[in-house]
Structure 1
């Protein structure tokens, strides 16, 4: 098992607080697995963000989804806006055009819409009929979704060992999980962004955790540490960025942190290509899962009353958008 830190420029340049952890020894049940658990437990407490290598995700499945989604995004906007706009198909696709979503609103911050577009899929989530082009797009989403489910199972077991729970403690909560797979296209910015507009505004994720396939670009993922500083997240070929999300933080009585993050705009006057495409997998439990403080974190008392995940999402949405 190895632990290192890196930034988009070089794997030798440290980014404090965002470690890179090889989880292969845990997945293969080899010597070094305990060190993996310890390193991840520390990262979950310190920043809630880390990168994993040695994860076993198929590079061929990843490339297929990346390339087919990119082909979709290259089609004309007028056609894309006719796709994925309904909600009558369970396991269908949803398309969100450029600037339709403003993620900072979830924290009560009013901004212009984020400069991105996305395709979204969840096997237990509603969407629309899949487009007839590019050929193979639906299967590419479903294949990659399975790869993420496998990695997510490994990560849940690592978390259980770090907390001191039976390694399958969380598994019943994910039998009919409401996870979502999204491919996001951040186009070239031909014009200056509007005041306050970013590629993705500052936000935290609502669910259990996020597994992100990212790429180096001018204007990338930034993470806010506990001192309020914005750190450029490392971008290492083949690695995945993982972050703790709000529901999991609540499960741990806020001891493991769900950290604000954003996607920055390319620097003013940047001359090269700044197009960026990322693939986040949002791991969410089932609607009826009860989120309550786990026994190892109770100590002086639980901060929150038990709540189902469905009720929790409704509450988070109302809290965010009531601030306008």
Structure 2
């Protein structure tokens, strides 16, 4: 079995795509499909506008999560630290995770903390405060499911698959919603420590709500240089994940990215909060090369693997303390 490679960005810009024509079935839907296919092949990253995600639901989750992160650390670390409830919450404190480890790079833990939720993922009891936090996660998760459905259908159109091809893989899907707090860095980070180390995302795709601040999302170009992701009010950053790259025989790329530390000479606040939605198939889904990517005698690069097996490997790497 061939070892997976790490593709890099072949373009120096991250495209912005208005997906409203595809979602509404209006004129220009085919052009949206063309733009999505080009972005998936060339960069693995793109921004979407015209997505229809509720700004009110987004703001409620953002504000309530921020209130949680403002509580004292000694209280936060007692929350969401068990795995006895389906659909519970998980809290990951600062330096608990080192994402670069999934690429075989050993670094100190990432300088961030997060709240994590998925309806079919294990977690602990939800905190009593701030009130409404659980419902805010549930409501936003639903918004992301709707957008992800439209994007899956657009991807099918781009690949030449029936519109519902991927849907059986997303029955009882293992998607996760995370709110990440990147606090002020009052002390110099440890050597090699970043807000989030270089990594690729594990699953099908990621839909990210980000914000402008010093020390933000960076995407790696083909030449190894880092490109700052643009921030457009109301837009979402979307990127292809490792499992989807594997499905497409590496033709659609899962691109390395990171969250940089703020510059040492910054003025004002560098606190940052982001909300990624990781769209993951169900555990039994077999990830194997799609037929359109083996045309003209091209061989499949990887052996089939279930998503459950794949995600277990990736997660163990990210949280390894060895």
- 2:179 pairs with 173, 180, 183, which one? 183
User: What is the distance in 2 between the residues matched to 1:21 and 1:89?
Assistant: 38
- Match of 1:134, SS state, is coil
For the pair 1:136 / 2:132, whether they are aligned, the reply is yes
**How far is the alpha carbon of 1:166 from its aligned partner?**
0.4
User: What is the distance in 2 between the residues matched to 1:16 and 1:184?
Assistant: 27
Q: How does 1:15-30 map to 2 (within 5 A)?
A: 16-30=12-26
User: What is the distance in 2 between the residues matched to 1:210 and 1:225?
Assistant: 19
1:245-285 deviation line (CA, Å, top 9, x unaligned): 00000000000000000000001121211000000000000
Asked if structure 2 preserves the Cα contact closer than 8 Å seen for 1:223 and 1:259, the reply is yes
C-alpha change, 1:258 and 1:129, in structure 2 (3 Å) is same
Asked if structure 1 preserves the Cα contact closer than 8 Å seen for 2:98 and 2:318, the reply is no
Aligned to 2:279: 283
User: What is the distance in 2 between the residues matched to 1:244 and 1:97?
Assistant: 27
User: What is the distance in 1 between the residues matched to 2:75 and 2:320?
Assistant: 34
Please provide the CA RMSD for this pair: 1.5
User: What is the distance in 2 between the residues matched to 1:213 and 1:31?
Assistant: 27
User: What is the distance in 1 between the residues matched to 2:109 and 2:150?
Assistant: 35
User: What is the distance in 2 between the residues matched to 1:156 and 1:178?
Assistant: 16
1:12-55 deviation line (CA, Å, top 9, x unaligned): xxx93300000001000000011100001000001100000000
**How far is the alpha carbon of 1:108 from its aligned partner?**
1.2
Asked if structure 1 preserves the Cα contact closer than 8 Å seen for 2:98 and 2:319, the reply is no
Aligned to 1:37: 33
User: What is the distance in 1 between the residues matched to 2:157 and 2:321?
Assistant: 38
1:79-125 deviation line (CA, Å, top 9, x unaligned): 00110000000000000011111111111111111111000000000
- Match of 1:94, SS state, is strand
Normalised by the length of structure 1, the TM-score is 0.93
For the pair 1:307 / 2:305, whether they are aligned, the reply is yes
Runs of 4+ in 1 over 4 A off after TM superposition: 317-324
Aligned to 2:166: 170
- Match of 2:208, SS state, is strand
- 1:72 pairs with 34, 46, 68, which one? 68
Normalised by the length of structure 2, the TM-score is 0.94
**How many pairs were matched up?**
310
1:192-221 deviation line (CA, Å, top 9, x unaligned): 111111000000011000000000000000
1:39-84 deviation line (CA, Å, top 9, x unaligned): 0100000110000000000000000000000000000000001100
**How far is the alpha carbon of 1:313 from its aligned partner?**
2.0
**How far is the alpha carbon of 1:320 from its aligned partner?**
7.0
Aligned to 2:82: 86
Q: How does 1:293-304 map to 2 (within 5 A)?
A: 293-299=289-295, 300-304=298-302
Structure 2: gaps spanning 5 or more residues: 1-10
User: What is the distance in 1 between the residues matched to 2:111 and 2:84?
Assistant: 27
